[in-house]
Amino acid sequence: MNDERIVALEMHAAQQEALLEDLSSVLHQQQREIQTLQEEVRRLMGRVDHAESRMPTPRPEKPPHY
């Protein structure tokens, strides 16, 4: 192999490493956002459950033709 080819391969490897680091960072950020959203959904579901438990049970209504 000649020196130019080795340099080109080293540059390519460095670019791939930088890209991998960027993707890893984005993945980590997305995981944090997913966890935050999951916590928010659990909190909201708890509020909905609480609100539903406080609502009166609807009585079945007779159809208007009876």
Greater confidence, 59 or 18? 18
Cα 24 from Cα 30, distance rounded (Å): 10
**Comparison of pLDDT for 61 and 43, the residue scoring more:** 43
Domain range annotation of the chain: 1-49
Whether this prediction's pTM lies above 0.75 is answered by: no
- Residue 21 carries which side chain, given as an amino acid letter? E
For residue 22, what are the CA distances in angstroms to 5, 11, 33, 34?
26, 17, 17, 18
* C-alpha 41: how far from chain center: 11
Q: CA-CA distance, 4 to 26, in Å (whole number)?
A: 33
User: What does the pLDDT look like over 2-12, one tens digit per residue?
Assistant: 999 999 999 99
CA distance 52 to 58: 12
